[in-house]
Structures are given as C-alpha cells and as structure tokens.
Amino acid sequence: MRNKRLSIIPLCLFFGLLASCAMTPDFDTTQVDQTLTPQSVIAEPEISHGKIALWGGTILDIHNLENSTQIEMLAYPLNTSHRPVLESAPMGRFIIQHKGYLEATNYAQGRLLTVLGSVSGSQSGKIGESSYTYPLINSQQLHLWSLYDDQSNTSFHFGLGIRL
C-alpha cells in the first residue's frame, strides 16, 4: 500500500507542473480601478478620466490610422486570469487607442482581447442607425488570446479502452 502512495506522488507533481505552465497574461493591476465599466465611464466621464482600467471582450472592428490603431470592442466581465467571459452578459462597447500599427489579420473580428490602459474620454459613433458614445482607453498593455486557448472549458480526460 505504501508503494502505491509513493508512485502517485510523482504523477500528481507532473500534472501540477503541467497545469502551472498554462499561459496567462501578467498585468500590473495595482492601480486598476475595479469599479470602472464602459457604462460607468459614459455615465460619469469627468470622474473616470485618467483612471486605469482592465477591460476585455471580443474585437468588433479595427482601424489602422496614420500613427495609431483603433479597436472597437464589445466588453465582457473578466475571469481571474483576465480572460473575457463570453457566457456573461456584455457590458457595452468601447474603443482601444493603441500607439503604432497592429496587424488587422491578427486582431480580427471575434478574437478575444484584454487591455490595460487609461481612460481618455469618449467618442461619438453609430451602431447601425443608432448613435452611441464609446469610452476610449489608451492601451498600455494588450493581451490577444490564442485561438486555441479556451480556459473556460478546461477539462482533463483520461481513458483506457479496447477498440475492435
């Protein structure tokens, strides 16, 4: 019995090491205002200006300008790894302002993205025929989630079988 317990320990250590290798972004959240949401910024823009936000969601559109890139986002709550939780209700739209060029094929519509940055104001736009006010966030750090990284459905499968 004692030998069986000892043989299980290396197996548990192996799977623990494997789980620790999962890639999660390293954001400095010490200055992040956790109360900020796209809706709260639109409701009280003067209070929100200059505050640090950590938001994420799905990319709706991207525009490369002369010296910067604008990314239109649909916001979702973030999990503990700062990944957008698409199973939750969306929290509104916002625009990321990023200095420099971002490849539009990498930052394509539907991809998940998390941004750390400062709230810099708002911008008027349209969604279809409706007017919309977008909060603006100047990016300090972006994390584009891998197409193959689906942490929301993390599972472990182990099986033995006989196939005839």
CATH topology assigned to domain 23-147:
OB fold (Dihydrolipoamide Acetyltransferase, E2P) (2.40.50)
Q: Is the dihedral of CA 116, 122, 125, 127 positive or negative?
A: positive
Contact (Cβ atoms closer than 8 angstroms) between residue 81 and residue 24: yes
Question: In whole angstroms, what is the distance from residue 73 CA to residue 52 CA?
Answer: 17
Q: Domain spans of the chain?
A: 23-147
pLDDT digits (tens, 9 = 90+) for 36-88: 999 999 999 889 999 999 999 999 999 999 999 999 999 999 999 999 999 99
> What pLDDT digit, counting tens, does each position of 121-155 carry?
999 999 999 999 999 999 999 999 997 755 444 54
